[in-house]
Amino acid sequence: IYTKRIFSGIQPTGSIHLGNYLGAIKEWVKLQGEAECPLWSIVDLHAITLPHDHEELRKNIYQMAATLLACGIDPQKSIIFQQSTVSRHTELAWTLGCMLTMKKLALLPQFKEKSETLKNIPVGLYIYPVLQSADILLYKATDVPVGKDQLQHLHLAQHLVHFFNGKYGDTFPVPNPLINESSGSVKSLKDPSKKMSKSDNEKKSLIRLIDEPEIIRKTIKKAVTDFTSEITYEPSSRPGVSNLVLIHSQMLDKSPEVICKEAQGLNTVQYKSLVTDVIIEKLTPIRQEYIRLMSAPDYVNSVLKNGSLRALPLADKCWLEVREKVGF
Ligand code: ADP
Ligand code: NA
């Protein structure tokens, strides 16, 4: 009874890396043809749950919009919008928060991880999964591309749907996770036991989408491998080489097995050079488009503005229904 609707969000925190691209955005680009009109939200309200700089945040929101467009998110096929421009997100989040126990929220793993190093924990950090549920429910999303690390948050959204529907009658579809198997699978180039992450301060651990070819070449050259020169895919015993094979395979949409077969006879040094060429070839058009968009603010801002204008009526429609049912 519910139309298929895809929703996902990405935090505007700094320039994104190969892991974000292969684990999320590349899939989003593919999903564009599949449903009514997917919504991709730049979730700035989530980005303030941890300390931030206001100039930096504003810049990051713009950069994320430019990045999504450069990667192939098409405003004709998708709605790209800035979360905070649709105030219904916070209104629904409040309403949902009132239907949830502290105990249930406390169980979520990300809160524990993210608050571990903080002396003073913002309330926003604690309740942000509720806002995430609101993001999804507000558009009656049926399918939500998520990383494996976000699965428990999606279960919270499902729980809230059951609760709301049970109390007020069918209102929301139960959102279905579209788990990207690649999420979290790209490892740090310096320490392949960890995932490639923005928060890693070791610069040589990651490749940003907008890195210049020379930087990419240097970073891959220094990537940690082992003393076997053969190219094989054995993530647990040979994490370094396997990480390069995985990146290579995901860039070309080929299986790691095929990649290894094609790399037969190459030693690690030669293979690194091959992987570098593939990455540079795939990222160059993205980088060039990104650079073009960084100096086309009228266009990028109009895409965001349009996205908000298209998201607003969808959000309003849902919110009216919620108000009615809750008794406002
Ligand atoms: P980061 O860890 O760099 O802060 P986020 O947590 O903001 O990244 O994740 C944004 C998206 O990118 C998520 O969908 C996540 O699953 C994906 N992602 C992040 N890091 C990786 C990685 N190393 N490999 C694959 N996907 C990743
Ligand atoms: Na993260």
Residue 79: which H helix or E strand, with range? strand 79-82
What pLDDT, in 10s, does the model give residues 275-301? Answer: 999 999 999 999 999 999 999 999 999
Block means of pLDDT (10 residues each) for the chain, 328 residues, are: 93 90 95 88 96 95 98 97 98 98 89 83 93 98 92 96 98 95 88 91 90 97 95 96 97 96 96 98 98 98 98 98 97
Q: H or E segment at 8?
A: strand 7-10
pTM of the model: 0.95
ipTM score: 0.92
Which residues line ligand 1 at a C-beta cut-off of 6 Å? 10-11, 19-20, 22-24, 147, 182-186, 195-199
DSSP state of 211: -
Q: Could you write out the DSSP letters of every residue in 41-61?
A: EE-HHHHTSS---HHHHHHHH
pLDDT in tens, 172-209: 999 999 998 777 799 999 999 999 998 887 878 999 99
Ligand closest in space to the Cα of 17: 1
Cα 21 to ligand 1 centre (Å): 8
Q: Concatenated DSSP letters for 99-133?
A: TS-HHHHHT-HHHHHHHTT-SS--HHHHHHHHHHH
Atom 12 of ligand 1, residue of closest alpha carbon = 20
Q: Where in the sequence numbering do the catalytic residues fall? A: 114, 195, 198
From the CA of 21, the nearest ligand is 1
